């Protein structure tokens, strides 16, 4: 932890704003200009994290939009890079939902701002991959909060040859992740962010997460099967356009999900949208190899026990079919 008053390059530390598993954010002041900024420094300096922070800075510096937190400078402190960003004096979206309990009109206004920032990122080939309430900050102007998307730490840049994500690795926050992102974060597209947007809108309208389960297998089962409580059970006054937007975003199969921010905005404007019908629904299995920004316990003993049970069942089926001189039957993975 850096003490107040410590000098770092052209900035003086004023206070710690928050910390996560990988980084600490401080409020700092430019010594010549007097302007206030947020400084993000790595808490642990593994080389892979340094590279990712550099990439985060490069991506976020390209994104210039009123609904995105801008990166304005990069400094080096004790051999570690630090990102200098806009300092937002306001709560994150999760804190605001808990205290403000927004009405549908206010929720829609905030959501449209987030959507505008995300559309700008998508137009520049950037997939955020970790949209959640903690990664949306609210800048308060009078009584109208302005949402600002932040933390592009695991973003995917479609225009870059640099990709630090391994194939078949899960990265993100489970209860806000699309099913396909659980299986392979490297190959997701804009539709994964739109699933996360549906989770955000649900929480803003209903006051609680769409997928409140507390362990990975239960969350995966829910996100893969539209296993959320109907929004009107929580909020009977949920307007038709917000209801339609939530349902369109939270479809488990990417091909049946709302495809772009532009189409989602049209749904908010009241235009009807019908997803394409799929005659074949692919089957998938959960690969919980690795998570970044994980918000729930992994429960690995449960998962290992389930795998052992499935394997023993497969062996028993194989033996029974072999005895009757038939082809062995292999259990199918869970259907999404």
Model pLDDT for residues 173-192, shown as the tens digit of each residue: 999 999 999 998 889 999 99
- Asked if 82 and 8 touch (Cβ cutoff 8 Å), the reply is yes
User: Considering only 93-107, 247-261, 307-321, which range has the smallest mean pLDDT?
Assistant: 307-321
User: Considering only 78-92, 140-154, 282-296, which range has the smallest mean pLDDT?
Assistant: 282-296
pLDDT at position 80: 80
- Asked if 259 and 191 touch (Cβ cutoff 8 Å), the reply is yes
pLDDT at position 89: 86
**Is the per-residue pLDDT at 58 higher than 50?**
yes
pTM: 0.80
Spatial separation of the C-alpha atoms in residues 201 and 220, rounded to whole Å = 19
The separation between the first and the last C-alpha atoms of the chain, rounded to the nearest angstrom, is 44
Which DSSP string corresponds to 203-269?
A: HHHHSS-S---SSHHHHHHHHTTT-S--HHHH-TT--HHHHHHHHHHT-SSGGGS---HHHHHHHHT
**Is the per-residue pLDDT at 267 higher than 70?**
yes
Give the list of residues 6+ apart from residue 50 with CB closer than 8 angstroms, or none: 42, 80, 81
**Is the per-residue pLDDT at 196 higher than 70?**
yes
pLDDT at position 83: 93
The stretches of the chain forming alpha helices (DSSP H) are 47-62, 93-100, 104-123, 179-183, 190-206, 216-223, 231-234, 240-249, 261-268, 300-323
**Is the per-residue pLDDT at 331 higher than 50?**
no
Per DSSP, what are the bridge partners of residue 40?
25, 83
pLDDT band at 55 (very low <50, low <70, confident <90, very high): confident
| Higher pLDDT pick, 303 / 31 | 31
Per DSSP, what are the bridge partners of residue 36?
29
Which DSSP string corresponds to 2-21?
A: PPTT-EETTEEEEEEEEE-S
Per-residue burial over 137-149, b if 16 or more Cβ lie within 10 Å, else e, is: bbbeeeeebbbbb
Helix (H, G, I), strand (E, B) or coil at 25: strand
Closest CA to 7 of 29, 36, 37: 29
Q: Which residues are known catalytic residues?
A: 130
Element (H, E) at 154: none
Q: What is the mean pLDDT of residues 292-310?
A: 43
- Asked if 281 and 254 touch (Cβ cutoff 8 Å), the reply is no
- Asked if 200 and 111 touch (Cβ cutoff 8 Å), the reply is yes
**Is the per-residue pLDDT at 25 higher than 70?**
yes
């Amino acid at each position: 932890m850096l003490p107040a008053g410590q000098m770092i390059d052209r900035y003086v530390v004023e206070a710690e704003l928050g910390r996560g598993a990988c980084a600490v954010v401080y409020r700092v002041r430019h010594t010549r200009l007097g302007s206030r900024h947020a400084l993000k420094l790595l808490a642990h300096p593994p080389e892979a994290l340094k590279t990712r922070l550099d990439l985060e800075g490069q991506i976020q510096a390209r994104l210039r939009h009123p609904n995105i937190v801008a990166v304005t400078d990069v400094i080096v402190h004790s051999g570690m890079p630090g990102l200098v960003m806009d300092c937002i004096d306001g709560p994150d979206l999760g804190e605001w939902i808990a205290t403000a309990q927004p009405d549908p009109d206010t929720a829609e206004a905030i959501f449209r701002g987030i959507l505008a920032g995300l559309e700008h990122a998508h137009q520049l080939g950037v997939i955020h991959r970790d949209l959640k309430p903690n990664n949306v900050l609210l800048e308060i102007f009078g009584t109208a909060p302005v949402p600002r998307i932040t933390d592009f730490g695991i973003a995917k840049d479609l225009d870059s040859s640099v990709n630090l994500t391994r194939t078949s690795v899960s990265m993100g926050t489970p209860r806000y992740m699309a099913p396909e992102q659980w299986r392979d974060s490297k190959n997701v597209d804009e539709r994964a962010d739109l699933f996360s947007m549906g989770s955000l809108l649900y929480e803003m309208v209903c006051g609680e997460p769409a997928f409140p389960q507390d362990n990975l297998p239960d969350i995966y089962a829910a996100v893969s099967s539209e296993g959320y409580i109907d929004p009107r059970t929580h909020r009977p006054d949920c307007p038709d356009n917000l209801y339609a937007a939530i349902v369109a975003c939270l479809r488990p199969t990417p091909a049946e999900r709302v495809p772009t921010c532009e189409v989602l905005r049209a749904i908010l404007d009241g235009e009807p949208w019908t997803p394409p019908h799929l005659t074949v629904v692919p089957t998938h299995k959960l690969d919980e190899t690795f998570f970044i920004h994980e918000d729930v316990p992994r429960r690995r003993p449960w998962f290992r026990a389930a795998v052992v049970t499935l394997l023993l069942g497969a062996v028993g089926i194989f033996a029974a079919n072999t005895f009757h001189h038939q082809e062995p039957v292999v259990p199918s993975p869970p259907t999404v």
